[in-house]
Structure formats: C-alpha cells, structure tokens
Amino acid sequence: MASAVPTHDSRRAAQLTLRAAGVLSLAAAAIFVLLFFVNDNRGVSELQQARKRVAGLHADIARLEAENARLRAEIESVQRSTYAVERIAREDLGMSKKGEIVYMLPKR
C-alpha cells in the first residue's frame, strides 16, 4: 500500500501544477489584452487620422484631375479655334480689335 500514496500525491501535484499554469496563463493573457488596448489607443487614433488624411488626399486628387481635364479641354479649344483665342484676349486681357469701342463694366 505504500506505493498507492505516492501515486495519489503525484496526481494531486500534477493537478495543482496544471491549475497554477492555467491561472498564470489566464493572468498573462488578461495583462496582454489590457496592455494591447491601453497602448493601442494611440495607434488606433493615429490610424484614424491617417485614414482621414488619405481620404482628404483622394478628394484633392479627384478635384485636381477634374481641373486638369478642364484645362486640357481649354488648351485644345484654344489650339483649334481662333475664336477661343479672341475670347480670352477680350475677356481676360481686355484687348480689342482696331477701331472697336470697349465698354468695361465693374466686376461685382
């Protein structure tokens, strides 16, 4: 019967070791999760700010692409037609043909 007692004690010791390992693992996991969320708040806010900057840059790109398309169309119009050149000379530069009378109205 002497051999039965050590077996029982070794099983109990193994169970206690497993329980202790489980408790330590759970505690370590809880600490890791807490540290992750506490330290990650800065990372999350930086990520949100970066996403806002990216969205703003995409909007700027779209606006500039539209402006480039408009300017290309205007360039093509000027290259194809003398009317476009004359319109720009009259409206933007205030020029006139010889003998014309130009009435300049104040801009609002």
Q: What is the pLDDT of residues 74-97, one digit of tens each?
A: 888 888 888 878 888 888 887 888
Give the model's pLDDT for residue 41: 64
In whole angstroms, give the CA distance from residue 61 to residue 102. Answer: 40
Is the whole model's pTM more than 0.95, yes or no? no
Residue extents of the structural domains in the chain: 4-91
Answer whether 77's CB lies under 8 Å from 84's CB: yes
**Residue 62, pLDDT score:** 97
At 3-17, the pLDDT tens digits run 544 566 778 888 888
The per-residue pLDDT of the chain, averaged, comes to 83
Position with higher pLDDT, 17 vs 2: 17
More confident residue, 26 or 87: 26
DSSP the chain: -TTHHHHHHHHHHHHHHHHHHHHHHHHHHHHHHHHHHHHHHHHHHHHHHHHHHHHHHHHHHHHHHHHHHHHHHHHHHHHH-HHHHHHHHHHTT----TT----PPPP-
pLDDT exceeds 70 at position 56? yes
pLDDT at position 10: 79
Model confidence at 65: pLDDT above 90: yes
pLDDT value at residue 6 = 58
